[in-house]
Amino acid sequence: MAAFDKIVVTAANRAQAEGYLSQLGGDSRYEVFPDPGDKRVGSLGATVNVLRHIPHGGRVFVCHSGGDARRTPAYAAMGKAFVPMRDGRSMLAHIVESMEKLKMPPGLLVASGDVLLDFDAKQVDFSRPGVTGVAYPDGADEARRHGVYKEQGGKVVEFLQKPQVESGTYLIDTGLMFIDWPTAAKMVGLPIAGDIYDEFPNLLLEGFAPFSVNVLEKCGFFHIGSSRELLSRLGNGNIYVDKVACPLELEGGNIVTNVPAGRFEKLSLGKNECFTCLPLKNGEWYDLKYRLDDNFKTDGLWEKHGLAEKMKVIDHRRLIKLRQSRDPKTIKVSAPVRIDFAGGWSDTPPICEFEGGEVVNASVLLEGRRPIEVTVKERADKFVKIVSKDLGKRRLIKTAAELADHQDPHDWCALVKSALAVTGFEFGSRGLDITISADLPKGSGMGTSSVLGAATITALTGRTDAAELGELTLRLEREMNTGGGWQDQFGGIVPGFKLLVSKPGVPQQVDVRTLTPPENFLQELKACGLLFFTGQKRMARNILRKVLAFYADNPHNFAKVLVDALKSDARKCAFAVASGDIDGFADAINGYWRDKKLLDPGSTNERVDALIETIKPYVRAVTLTGAGGGGFMFILAKSPRDAQRVRKALTQNSPHSLSRFYDFDFDLTGISLEVR
């Protein structure tokens, strides 16, 4: 292994070359060559141009980076070779580091600036005369997207560009090509034009120089060919934010780069919306807003925004100043909790896996705000600090073993540690400060732990897609060994009223059906609906175990009949909400409360029954939220006046020192993500 004597980066024009030189910061190992005449000449033409201007000798690496990066507009002003990797260094720095591991004799090594290869350098032999390519075996899918070698005894007999093959194993071109100096000297006489991966192989096969291929056992590709690839490979799950100096409100699928301080008080982007700022030499910024799957290469957007001309007047001094600023990101997620009105327990594995589930619930604010909050901020070290604001506790995790210990539900850190596990966090990869808060009583029956789990996953990954979050939260609960169904997380993730439906099977696929009640229904519900905390805390998993045991025993088929009744309650409730039938809504809630108690008598107790008896003359419907056994009670009074009577009765005869009414309202936003 030896360092290169010279590293050459090619550019499409002088403006791009100026930008590359600025980003290289005067490193004497590098030279940057623009294509002659400021016109694209292709990778073969660019190689010939380099050979006409450098001394022939030593070990030279040529990294072709003359593209416009049209499919990754987030970094078009910088060039794809300068996209920052997770460690902050550019892709180019990683490529050079990888190539310097090769045992390379004097000659010219050519590679692409937008591909980082992962292979065993010891398997590469560049000792043959002429030109040596590098390939690895793979299937037809990869063959259709790349160049393909055919060889006999290491000698190339045919080179195909993206062949339309259906099956089989092929030698896929890695883009690496070694050229010895005698061959390089001959190349100086070639025209400055053409593709080194297209025209040049044909020229070699016609006898221009010996042509060999070195076959690796395997090779990994790290390629950022589009915005979606950038997001998936480098993003924090479903968002990617780099050098942004303002608060962000994001809905997921977002790429935001290079936003200077003072330009925006706050930037809000919808689903799959992206944004970058381009510093221009006239002192202005050009704001470029685009969609995640916009293809500036083919859909005319490059021309619409005049980016060909703007790229020639990028103020790289200002861009570098922005890039050198510190970029500590704080991701804040807030979420409502949920009230379940019918169908609960039918969403719990294995019940739902055999029977399918149907639940009606609604996301709600308490005391005018979302009670669930999670913030994640990167640390300078590699540790993980977890803080619970509502518990007043904090813990600094310094080992991978401590982070992996997350199956004790009594451990207040278990939820966060489980969220880190299901999102694929690797201890030591980066440090995090994670702060969680659930501003409502513990054991409330409002889906708190599941919604908090979903919010933590969103803060760690940026994912806001309901289906993904629902599945990941279910996995989190399995990691914690607490079990539980899927209705809670969907209750907080998805705004408003909804009917949640799944069919029997594994894994569960939840169909979220939004319910839009008439305005008069909502008004009556707000006037007559009450939310009362009984003061009794309970842990849902204790009731869960009894319910699942009863379902497994299924005496006289009674458990299955009850599950069918729960699902029927949900259908009746959904119809009542959608049609604005407040009496039908009350009947469905009462049926739900009855069937929950039949499924597990522990859903209620003497104190709860006494409370209900006290207010019985004034109510149309009543149920304990969630599994029951305590927590919150939802009460639907017969009239606004009766609602006041219920308030008075339960306030004057408070069953517990913690008992009280909570103001609530229906949430129309669901889970919310901000980046600061």
For residue 305, is pLDDT > 90?
yes
Q: Which two tokens stand for residue 428?
A: 């030591």
pLDDT at 554: 83
pLDDT at 1: 43
Strands 131-139 and 211-215, how do they pair? parallel
Give the rounded percent of residues in the chain with a pLDDT score beyond 70: 98
Lowest mean pLDDT among 36-50, 223-237, 346-360: 223-237
Judge: domain 6-223, CATH 3.90.550: yes
What would the pLDDT profile of 433-463 be if each residue is shown by its tens digit? 999 999 998 889 999 999 999 999 999 988 8
Q: Give the residue with greater pLDDT, 599 vs 386.
A: 386
Burial label, 613 (beta-carbon count in 10 A; 0-12, 13-18, 19+): exposed
Which three-class secondary structure state does DSSP give residue 342? strand
pLDDT band at 468 (very low <50, low <70, confident <90, very high): confident
pLDDT band at 541 (very low <50, low <70, confident <90, very high): low
Q: Give the residue with greater pLDDT, 504 vs 479.
A: 504
Per-residue b or e along 300-324, where b marks 16 or more CB atoms closer than 10 Å to that residue's CB: ebbeebebeebbbebbbebbeebbe
Q: Which two tokens stand for residue 186?
A: 């001959």
For residue 543, is pLDDT > 80?
no
Contacts of 127 (CB under 8 A, 6+ apart): 105
pLDDT band at 600 (very low <50, low <70, confident <90, very high): confident
Which three-class secondary structure state does DSSP give residue 302? helix
Query: What's the mean per-residue pLDDT of the chain?
Result: 93
pLDDT at 183: 98
CA nearest 534: which of 459, 470, 434, 610? 610
pLDDT band at 2 (very low <50, low <70, confident <90, very high): low
For residue 335, is pLDDT > 80?
yes
What would the pLDDT profile of 639-649 be if each residue is shown by its tens digit? 999 999 999 99
350 cis-preceded (ω within 30 degrees of 0): yes
CA dist 74 and 306 (Å) reads 16
* Cα angle value 134/112/22 (rounded, 5°): 150
Length of the chain: 676
pLDDT at 352: 94
The Cβ of residue 533 has, within 10 Å, a number of other Cβ atoms equal to 22
Q: Are 89 and 42 a contacting pair, CB within 8 Å?
A: no
CA dist 81 and 95 (Å) reads 9
CA dist 471 and 457 (Å) reads 11
pLDDT band at 602 (very low <50, low <70, confident <90, very high): confident
What would the pLDDT profile of 570-581 be if each residue is shown by its tens digit? 999 999 999 999
pLDDT at 544: 73
What residue spans define the domains of the chain? 6-223, 227-327, 334-666
What would the pLDDT profile of 416-427 be if each residue is shown by its tens digit? 999 999 998 989
For residue 329, is pLDDT > 90?
no
Give the rounded percent of residues in the chain with a pLDDT score beyond 90: 78
Q: What is the CATH number of domain 334-666?
A: 3.30.230.120
